[in-house]
Amino acid sequence: MKTINVAFGLHNHQPVGNFDFVFEDAYKKCYLPFLELLERHPKIRLAQHYTGILLNWLDQHHPEFVPRLRALVEQDQVEMMTGGFYEPILSVLPDRDKVGQITKLTDHVKASTGYSARGMWMAERIWEPHLPKYCSQAGVEYVVLDDSHFKCAGLRDEELLGYYLTEENGSTVKLFPICEKLRYTIPFQDPQETINLFRKNASEAGTNLLVFADDGEKFGVWPGTYEHCYEDGWLESFFQALEDNLDWINLIHPGEALDTIPPAGRVYLPTASYREMMEWAMPTKAIHEYEHLEETLKQQQLHDRHKAFVRGGFWRNFMVKYPESNNMHKKMLHVSRRLQGLTETHGSDPRFLEAQDHLWAGQCNCPYWHGVFGGLYLNHLRYAIYHELIQAEAILDELQYDRKKTAWTDHAVFDFDADGADEILVANPVLGLGVSPGQGGAIFELDYKPAALNLLDTMTRREEAYHKKLKAASAQQPPEASSGVASIHDIVVMKEPDLDKQLVFDSYRRTSCLDHFLAEDTTLKGFARCDYQETADFLRGAYSHAVESTGAGLSVHLSREGNVATASGVVQVYLSKRITIDATHSRLQIDYKIKNFDNQPLQTWFGSEWDFALLAGDAPDRYYQVDGVTLDDARLRSSGELSGVDQVRLVDEWLKVRVAVAATQNPRWWRFPIETISQSEGGFERVYQSSVVMPHWRLAIEPGRSWNAKIEIEVSSLA
652 tagged catalytic? no
Residue type, 425: L
- Return the C-alpha torsion angle 197, 199, 201, 202, nearest 10: 160
- Positive or negative, the Cα torsion across 482, 486, 490, 493? positive
Helices (H) and strands (E) in the chain, counts: 22, 27
DSSP 195: H
CA distance 318 to 229: 34
591 tagged catalytic? no
CA distance 607 to 515: 6
Q: Which of 215, 357, 419, 646 does the annotation list as catalytic?
A: 215
CA distance 126 to 536: 43
| Residue 590 CB partners (closer than 8 Å, separation 6+) | 513, 577, 578, 579, 580, 608, 710, 711, 712, 713
The answer to whether the CB of 437 falls within 8 A of the CB of 415 is no
| Residue 451 CB partners (closer than 8 Å, separation 6+) | 655, 656, 657, 717
Please state the φ and ψ torsions of residue 510, each to the nearest 5 degrees: -80, 105
Write out the DSSP string of 88-117. Answer: B-GGGS-HHHHHHHHHHHHHHHHHHH----
CA distance 83 to 90: 9
- 231 to each of 107, 227, 236, how far by Cα in Å? 37, 5, 10
Q: Is there a cis peptide before residue 191, judged by omega within 30 degrees of 0? A: no
SS3 387: helix
CA 626 from chain center: how many Å?
A: 34
**Across the strands, what pairs with 178?**
146
CA distance 290 to 294: 6
The answer to whether the CB of 707 falls within 8 A of the CB of 593 is yes
Residue type, 570: V
- Return the C-alpha torsion angle 222, 227, 233, 238, nearest 10: -10
The answer to whether the CB of 463 falls within 8 A of the CB of 284 is yes
Q: Which of 97, 124, 147, 256 does the annotation list as catalytic?
A: 124
Helix axis angle for 52-61 and 65-74, nearest 10°, is 120
CA distance 288 to 361: 35
CA distance 422 to 601: 35
**Across the strands, what pairs with 211?**
7
CA distance 698 to 38: 70
The answer to whether the CB of 718 falls within 8 A of the CB of 651 is yes
The answer to whether the CB of 337 falls within 8 A of the CB of 400 is no
DSSP 569: E
DSSP 477: P
CA distance 97 to 709: 46
* Closest-CA residue to 554 (of 545, 562, 563, 566): 545
- Catalytic center residues: 124, 215
